[in-house]
Amino acid sequence: MIRAVRWRRRDGRGSTAVGAALCLMAAGILTVGCGGEAVPEGGSDRIPEAAESASPEGHEGMDHAAMGHGDHDMGGLTASGGDGYTESDVHFMQMMIGHHDQAVRMAALSADRDAGSAVRQLSQRIDISQRDEILFMEEWLRQRGQPVPEAHHLRAMEMPGLVSDEDFERLTEARGREFDRLFLTFMIEHHLGAIDMVDELFENPRAAQEPDIFRFATDVAADQLDEIHVMERLLADL
C-alpha cells in the first residue's frame, strides 16, 4: 500500500517529509494527490489523514476490509551491499530493530489474554510483518559491515512511541476487552513513534538516498499508517 499522507507530528510540528517521500516513490506507478497542506488548526495531532491511496502491483489480493491490507509483502525487496548510505541510515536501521522488537513482544501477548478476534488477527499481522522487517534490517546492516544490535540490548534506549515498562506490565496483566483497549491504544502510539523515526530520517537531506533504505522506510511508514487507521476503527468499536 502506497499512501500519500499529511499529519501533525507528535511534537506539534507539521510533517510533510514522509508524505513527500511516499509521493516520490509512487510517482512512477500511480497518480496521487501530494499536496503538502498542514493539518488545520484544531485538527487531530495524532491520527494521520489519508489524502489518496492506491495499491500498486505487488500488493494485490489485500483484504482491506479486514486488516487495511493482507499478508505482509516486502515486494521481493532484499538487502544488497552498496555505497551511498549514511551514518543516519545505519542509526535508523539499528534503532528500528529495537522498536520493532517491542511491537512483536506486544503482539505475542494477544494469544492467551482473551483478546477479540480482530485484535488477534491484527497481532498476527504485526508479528509476521515486523519479524520480516527485522530480518531485512539485520541483513541490510550485515551487507554493509555495520554492527547488528541484539534487540534486547536496545530495550533501554529512548525511542519515539515506545511503551513504558509500567504500561507494558499493565498490558501483560489485562484480559479481554481491557486488553484490547490497552493494546490498541499503546500500539497506535507505538506506530506513530515509528513514523516519527521515518520522518526524522527523511528530514536529513543526505539520508535515505540509497534505494534499499528509501523503499524500506517508505514501506514502513505506509504500512503503519494503514494499521493505525484499522486500530482507530477497532478502538472506536469497543
Mean pLDDT of 228-232: 97
> pLDDT band at 58, cuts 50/70/90?
very low
**What is the C-alpha separation between 226 and 232, in angstroms, rounded?**
10
Domain region containing 110: 63-237
Strand 14-15 to 2-8 pairing = antiparallel
Residue 71 lies in a domain: yes
Phi, psi of 159 (to 5 degrees): -140, 150
* 82 pLDDT above the threshold of 70: no
Q: pTM of this prediction? A: 0.74
Residue 202 lies in a domain: yes
Query: Maximum Cα–Cα distance for the chain, whole Å?
Result: 49
User: For residue 127, how many other CB atoms are within 10 A of its CB?
Assistant: 19
Q: Is 92 exposed, middle or buried (0-12, 13-18, 19+ CB in 10 A)?
A: buried
Residue 69 lies in a domain: yes
The mean of the pLDDT values for the chain is: 77
Let me know: does 112 contact 167? Beta carbons within 8 Å: no
* Structural domains of the chain, count: 1
Contacts of 135 by beta carbon, 8 Å cutoff, 6+ apart: none
Residue 70 lies in a domain: yes
Residue 184 lies in a domain: yes
Looking up cell 528500528 gives 96
Residue 53 lies in a domain: no
Q: Give the dihedral of Cα atoms 150, 154, 226, 167; nearest 10 deg.
A: 130
Q: Which three cell numbers stand for residue 108?
A: 505475542
Q: What is the pLDDT of residue 157?
A: 82
Write the pLDDT tens digit of every residue in 131-165.
Answer: 999 999 999 999 999 999 988 778 768 899 999 99
Q: What is the pLDDT of residue 63?
A: 40
| CATH code: domain of residue 188 | 1.20.1260.10
Residue 47 lies in a domain: no
What residue type is assigned to position 149 of the chain? Answer: P
Beta strands in the chain (DSSP E): 2-8, 14-15, 49-54
Q: Which of 20-34, 42-56, 82-96, 217-231 has the highest mean pLDDT?
A: 217-231
Residue 216 lies in a domain: yes
